Amino acid sequence: MKHTGATILRILLERQGIDTLAGIPGGAILPFYDALHGSGIRHILARHEQGAGFIAQGMARVTGRAAVCLATSGPGATNLLTAIADARLDSVPLVAITAQVPQALIGTDAFQEVDTYGLTLPITKHNFLVRSVAELLEVVPLAFRLAESGRPGPVAVDVPKDVLLAEHEFAVWPEPGRREPTAACADGEIAAALAQLARAERPMLYLGGGVTAAGATGLAVQLARRLDAPTVCSLMALGTIPAGDPLDMGMLGMHGGKGTNLLMR
């Protein structure tokens, strides 16, 4: 079979189960928008690329699966950076797809040309600058696997316009990228943690967003009550222990309660 890079990208997203994505069209990414015609994917036209990124974040938080946002080259990509950085800090699985100027123009200060790869390097789990149509078949499933595995987070995929327009012939579609199961904690480590808790004179629990992401809220509350330990939360863990619970000491940090911070110290 033979397809353009834009069509390959669209079909790969469909095979990942993506039925909704948010973005804003622009010159470099228009070939992908053309490929969306006749697709079952619903496109949400944001008013700003940052909004598209946070729409995708909301979908990812609800489903636990990586969601997708789109932006064109230059200002489209730079407008997306805040949402990407936030997804990294809050451990939200996200695949941010940006278009880039044709490869011959990269590094020439061409219209709407900016180093998206370099800009996203410190704020993503991983990022890609796709150099050929064939690479899409490997990069897209890998981007979803990386975004969802381990500690979730954003992966950026920058696709030059010439890659979207070029054609590629191949025989078999790759398998969709899936979350890799997290390795089980060693029994010895669990036993050591239990021994420390048993010896603690004034045990206290500090809960983070990973408790919520792992679906371990109920277990955390059980542990707090079994230890009769005061519990403080990061911003991302608020709600893990019910507000008003006798063991709930509130949120830690510069915007948290004075008493909460004194208790931790």
Dump pLDDT digits (tens) for 1-48. 899 999 999 999 999 999 999 999 999 999 999 999 989 999 999 999
| Residue pLDDT, tens place only, 185-210 | 999 999 999 999 989 999 999 999 99
Q: What is the pTM of this model?
A: 0.92
pLDDT given for residue 214 in this prediction? 85
| Residue pLDDT, tens place only, 133-188 | 999 999 999 999 999 999 999 999 999 999 999 999 999 999 999 999 988 899 99
Predicted confidence (pLDDT) at residue 95 exceeds the cutoff of 90: yes
Q: How far apart are CA 259 and CA 262, in angstroms?
A: 5
Radius of gyration of the chain (CA): 22
Q: How far apart are CA 168 and CA 122, in angstroms?
A: 32
Q: Can you point out the beta strands (E) in 8-100?
A: 20-23, 42-45, 67-71, 94-100
| Residue pLDDT, tens place only, 53-66 | 999 999 999 999 99
CA distances from 41 to 11, 118, 245 (A): 10, 30, 44
pLDDT given for residue 182 in this prediction? 86
Q: What would the mean pLDDT of 92-109 be, rounded to a whole number? A: 97
| Residue pLDDT, tens place only, 217-263 | 999 999 999 999 999 999 999 999 988 899 999 999 999 999 999 99
The token pair at 244 is 């008003």
